Amino acid sequence: MHKLLSEKAGEEILLLGNEAIARGAIEAGVAFATTYPGTPSSELSLNLFQVSQETDLYFEYSTNEKVAMEVAAAAANSGLRTMCIMKHVGLNVAADPLMTLAYIGVKAGMVILSADDPYMFSSQNEQDNRYYGKMAGLPVLEPSSVHEAKDMTIAAFELSEKLQEPVILRTTTRINHSSATITTGEIARSKTKGYFEKNPMSYVTVPAVSRTLHVKLLENLKKAANFSESSEYNFINGNDNASYGIICNGVSFLYASDAVKDLGLEENSKILRIGFSNPMPSDLIKSFAKGCQKILIIEEGEPFMEEAVKAFAQEAGITIPIKGKDEGLFSRLYEFDPAMVRRNIAAFFGLPCNSKTPVDTKGLPDIPQRPPNLCSGCSHRATFYEIKKAAEGMDVVYPSDIGCYTLGFLPPLSTGDFVLCMGASVSSACGFSRATDQKVVSFIGDSTFFHSGITGLVNAVFNNHNFTLVILDNGITAMTGHQPNPGVDMTQMNFEGYNRISIEKLVRSLGVEHVTIIKPFKVKKSIAAVKEALAFKGVSVIISQEPCALFAKSIKALKPRPFHVTSKCLDHRDCIDQIACPSFFIDNGRVKIDANTCVGCAVCAQLCPENAIMPLK
Amino acid sequence: MDTKRLIIVAVGGQGNLLASKVLGEAALLSGIPVRMSEIHGMAQRGGVVESSIIFGDAVSTIISDGEADLLVGFEPAETLRAMGRCNADTQVVTSLSPVPPFTAAIGRGIYPEIDEMKRLIEERTSRLIAFDGMTLAKEAGSPMTLNIVMVGALVQSNILDLTRESVEKAIQLKTRPAFVDMNLKAFSLGFDAAKACCSI
């Protein structure tokens, strides 16, 4: 049985934040869940996917976040408790349904999980999705700890049902990827079949209907504001009569709590922790601020709370210093840490702060960097090499996309010149090819192509653009940890009941006239085929098919057959200089291959001028 | 309860996350409050993987620069790279088996000498326990057990309030059943190696 399905309540278990949220959803009786995978949310979906194999929970990996949101919206309006899971930038994709779903509302609880990523550990930006709550008029809940994340998930379903609106549960990486002990609760029986009761005047958002729905949304928002005032997630810690006020949310609450203790500030300070952050509790904040001499606001990301607190203070005629984002204090950049929070609390309230001094790192040698790299045996490396070879002498712009293959931007492959967001490799190629005389070759992975590359390709064919799109089809959504996508053969993982969409047929059906399939581990043949595609005037598509080596190894479809460098090697180092596979290393000035990591793709063997790279017998 | 802050640094694929899981489970078994934080996503793509584990009463899940009580490195250059997380009182446990980054192979940077790295760490921190963890992992039965060798060494160092028994129990609970014996051997080899280092 899945570890999150233990029926026993009151057990203490150590869980990852994402697992704790999944357990919370299960305890709340979630019946329906949709997602598009994205770090740092991926393990939450993975756990629900696993749980769905053993229970009545319906779970799907949807084509993209917009689809996930719309599928979920229907389920929630058919009376099923529904969760829709994505990373922060995923909510941009789903923003269109989100804004109007707020007008329509929901019948049963619907929780939208937005996993934000301050510091951009694995994201292209660090946008603050609390603003989506404000923009859509939806409640936002934000946990501070792993344990609270579980409890808040349950509370989010309940709140959603009380308001008949979806609720945004906003986490950050340090919640999703922290582990701590949680106490299990009872698992609620879920209703797994719904019924959609027609009511066009509530569900069909023609202008006349939407005008009334917007009124309803504002009424709901007012109710939400009342809930926020008395929410157990907006609480005050510390001495009620203290003159130093701190307002914080999320993980900053943990850092602030530790700092107050370390600085001996328990008597002189009070902390208002905001866990229900949209709408902000104005009365609570005003009464908290009364009696304070100064207030410090600690929140990662944008000054979301700070702007609200300052406005409330103005209404209440409170003129004390209120600061947060400030040159000498907190930044809108990156994530916070305990020492930074301690230092800024001490500075703002004028207290001494004795932090430990980090050891002197001056005088340490420069240690060679260890950037993430395409894996040994990664088919993308071969494809990139072949495209570069075929395009030698051309002035090429390489728009790329979001996935493992983004790493191809690093030298020596250098096949990423412009990366914007999911799907943009195709559409930006349209722009580059029109706006310049440069050759344009863009890259997109299979999952990303399904997610949002298709519409760009339709645009390219319709408007008769001129570029080559390379679809890197490794048969899985690799970067986020090997999730399914519509092109994946689900039977190889022993899943039944799925169909599979052929990228080739799809591309041809769109009217792309020049379609080439390459097997990237056949180097010479691939280069010749790529040259032809590049010579085509118009939209050409190359589909490079080879399974992700990591995934193939994990399902035992690939048995590594490592190669080695024989004595024929004349030290040209074409292997290292041109494809830079991480299995190569230098030992006593000679190139060697690490047999533990080499999987035997044999790409290096095909480009070695001496044929010196041979299978290890 | 005293707060103890542990940072583990490793190269992706060295089993850092499992080592953290074992230590977290041992803390849970021993009734010691524990919170951990780690960064996923790049782990299998050869980057650096860092975990923070905080034992005791603090509530934060991450550790600021200069605030680690204990730094454990599965790779010597990564241990050295993490020096900024230490202060003069920090104790360091590191494997000395090098995994040179690929950038060194393509001539972007020079991998430092092992003895030099040892000296640099020793000079800056209060105690260094350093040994060739990979040899012990292979002796235990697989290079994959390096993580548990290092867990053994850090438990022996006695900086944390974790008993040998609780960690061995956690290994039995949290590592794959087929590998439990090998992991227990790895644990024991790491434990003894750290003891030998201390008695010098």
> What is the residue extent of each domain of chain A?
3-230, 234-349, 379-554, 563-615
Q: Choose among B37, B65, B104: nearest Cβ to A178.
A: B37
Architecture of domain A563-615: 2-Layer Sandwich (3.30)
Per-residue pLDDT reduced to its tens digit, A225-282? 999 999 999 999 999 999 999 999 999 999 999 999 999 999 999 999 999 999 999 9
CB contacts, 8 Å: A273 with chain B: none
Domain count, chain B: 1
On whether any CB of chain B is under 8 Å from the CB of A40, the answer is yes
Distance CA A588, CA B1 (A): 51
At A191 the pLDDT is 86
At A617 the pLDDT is 78
User: How is domain A234-349 classified at the CATH fold level?
Assistant: Rossmann fold (3.40.50)
At A596 the pLDDT is 86
Enumerate residue ranges in chain B where pLDDT < 50.
none
At B200 the pLDDT is 53
At A172 the pLDDT is 98
Per-residue pLDDT reduced to its tens digit, A98-151? 999 999 999 999 999 999 999 999 999 999 999 999 999 999 999 999 999 999
Q: Are B124 and A359 in contact (CB under 8 A)?
A: yes
Mean pLDDT for the stretch of residues A594-614: 95
CB contacts, 8 Å: B59 with chain A: 145, 254, 257-258
Distance CA A484, CA A22 (A): 19
Architecture of domain A3-230: 3-Layer(aba) Sandwich (3.40)
Q: Choose among B60, B105, B124: nearest Cβ to A254.
A: B60
Per-residue pLDDT reduced to its tens digit, A517-528? 999 999 999 999
Per-residue pLDDT reduced to its tens digit, A300-356? 999 999 999 999 999 999 999 999 999 999 999 999 999 999 999 999 999 999 889
- Domain A234-349 and domain A563-615, same fold? Reply is no
Show which of residues 519-538 on chain A sit within 8 Å of chain B, judged by CB atoms. Answer: none
* Beta carbon pairs, A and B, within 8 Å: 179
At A170 the pLDDT is 98
CB contacts, 8 Å: B84 with chain A: 358-359, 361
Q: Are A243 and A327 in contact (CB under 8 A)?
A: no
Distance from CA of A480 to the nearest CA of B (A): 6
Distance from CA of A58 to the nearest CA of B (A): 26
Q: Choose among A338, A369, A404: nearest Cβ to B101.
A: A369
Q: Are A529 and A518 in contact (CB under 8 A)?
A: yes
Mean pLDDT for the stretch of residues A548-557: 93
DSSP alpha helix (H) spans, A28-124: 42-54, 65-76, 88-93, 95-104
Could you count the other beta carbons within 10 Å of the beta carbon of residue A83?
A: 33
On whether any CB of chain B is under 8 Å from the CB of A145, the answer is yes
CB contact under 8 A, A339 and B77: no
By C-alpha distance, the chain A residue nearest B43 is A372
Q: Choose among B34, B58, B125: nearest Cβ to A359.
A: B125
Architecture of domain A379-554: 3-Layer(aba) Sandwich (3.40)
Show which of residues 580-599 on chain A sit within 8 Å of chain B, judged by CB atoms. Answer: 580, 582, 584-586, 596
CB contacts, 8 Å: A338 with chain B: 58, 60, 62-64, 67
Show which of residues 103-122 on chain A sit within 8 Å of chain B, judged by CB atoms. Answer: 121-122
Q: B65 to each of A1, A119, B61, B101, how far by Cα in Å?
A: 41, 16, 14, 23
Distance from CA of B182 to the nearest CA of A (A): 19
CA A344 centroid distance within chain: 30
CB contacts, 8 Å: B143 with chain A: 596
By C-alpha distance, the chain B residue nearest A583 is B102
The mean pLDDT value of chain A amounts to: 96
Structural domain of residue B24, as residue ranges?
Answer: 4-196
This prediction has a pTM of: 0.96
At B52 the pLDDT is 96
Distance CA A285, CA A275 (A): 13
How many residues comprise chain A? 617
CB contact under 8 A, A367 and B112: yes
CB contact under 8 A, A361 and B84: yes
Q: Which is it for the CA torsion A296, A300, A305, A311, positive or negative?
A: positive
CB contacts, 8 Å: B45 with chain A: 372-375, 404, 407
Tell me which DSSP letter residue A577 carries.
Answer: I
At B43 the pLDDT is 52
Per-residue pLDDT reduced to its tens digit, A200-221? 999 999 999 999 999 999 999 9
CB contact under 8 A, B41 and A368: no
On whether any CB of chain B is under 8 Å from the CB of A12, the answer is yes
Longest Cα–Cα distance in chain B: 49
ipTM tops 0.85: yes
Q: Which is it for the CA torsion A38, A40, A46, A47, positive or negative?
A: negative
CB contact under 8 A, A368 and B78: no
Distance from CA of B105 to the nearest CA of A (A): 5
CB contact under 8 A, A370 and B45: no
On whether any CB of chain B is under 8 Å from the CB of A340, the answer is yes
Residue among A457, A425, A463 nearest A444 (CA)? A425
Q: Choose among A42, A367, A481: nearest Cβ to B77.
A: A367
Residue A272's H or E segment, with its range, is strand A269-274
Q: Which residues contact A271 (CB under 8 A, 6 or more apart)?
A: A236, A237, A238, A245, A246, A247, A248, A253, A256, A257, A260
Distance from CA of A298 to the nearest CA of B (A): 14
Give the CATH number of the domain where residue B135 resides.
3.40.920.10
Mean pLDDT for the stretch of residues A497-516: 97
Q: Choose among B20, B81, B86: nearest Cβ to A367.
A: B81
Distance from CA of A564 to the nearest CA of B (A): 16
